[in-house]
């Protein structure tokens, strides 16, 4: 039975979405093509009808995951976002969580296409967090961008550090708690100790 062009596109999108989740859960090296295709409900042989290589899929899955992360953040107020992002719930669900926190360290060792997907996704998230009033004045826009970069680095870094600790570690929770309190205090204009 011949697959229609629309069905082939839907199949490809399903493979990319499945890969995005599995890569966040297990890392790029923790998922083989055969396992990935089986999880998506397809045979291993069908992979190369859709992708030239695993690296091609990794780049596309990174873009997909980063876009999903941006979409999820867009519907949340900043304080609510920080509270969820730096929570145990987010920490314990890497497959459903932030692509940056799950895969940035893996992406650093991957081909240029994967790094380019991450750079584009990071830029998109920085731009999405920029209110229009910040864009009018160049000095204000540069300062605001610097604050957004610092906030992104602190929250992603806190999640990466927390996930590197044993699940039942007090340090894993402390990293999230301290960074959440610091970010929320800075957002409200209060000084932190």
Residue with tokens 């940056």: 100
HSE value, Cβ hemisphere, 13 Å, CA-based, for 144? 16
Residue with tokens 């007090």: 170
pLDDT digit string, tens, across residues 69-111: 888 877 788 899 999 999 999 999 999 999 999 999 999 999 9
Is residue 39 within 8 A of residue 18, CB to CB? The reply is yes
3-class SS of residue 53? coil
Backbone angles phi, psi at 185, to 5 degrees: -65, -45
pTM of the model: 0.88
pLDDT digit string, tens, across residues 117-130: 999 999 998 888 77
- Residue 41 or residue 188, greater confidence: 41
């Amino acid at each position: 039975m011949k697959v229609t062009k629309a069905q082939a596109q839907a199949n490809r999108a399903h493979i990319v979405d499945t890969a995005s989740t599995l890569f966040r859960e297990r890392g790029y090296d923790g998922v083989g093509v055969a396992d990935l295709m089986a999880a998506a409900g397809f045979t291993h042989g069908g992979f190369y009808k859709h992708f030239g290589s695993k690296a091609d899929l990794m780049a596309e899955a990174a873009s997909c995951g980063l876009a999903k992360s941006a979409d999820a953040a867009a519907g949340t107020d900043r304080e609510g976002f920080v509270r969820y992002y730096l929570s145990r719930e987010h920490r314990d669900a890497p497959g459903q969580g932030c692509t940056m926190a799950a895969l940035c360290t893996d992406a650093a060792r991957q081909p240029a296409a994967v790094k380019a997907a991450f750079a584009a996704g990071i830029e998109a998230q920085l731009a999405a967090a920029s209110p229009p009033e910040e864009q009018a004045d160049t000095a204000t826009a540069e300062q605001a961008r610097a604050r957004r970069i610092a906030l992104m680095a602190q929250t992603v870094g806190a999640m990466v550090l927390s996930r590197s600790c044993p699940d039942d570690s007090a340090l894993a929770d402390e990293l999230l708690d301290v960074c959440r309190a610091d970010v929320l205090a800075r957002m409200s204009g209060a000084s932190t100790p």
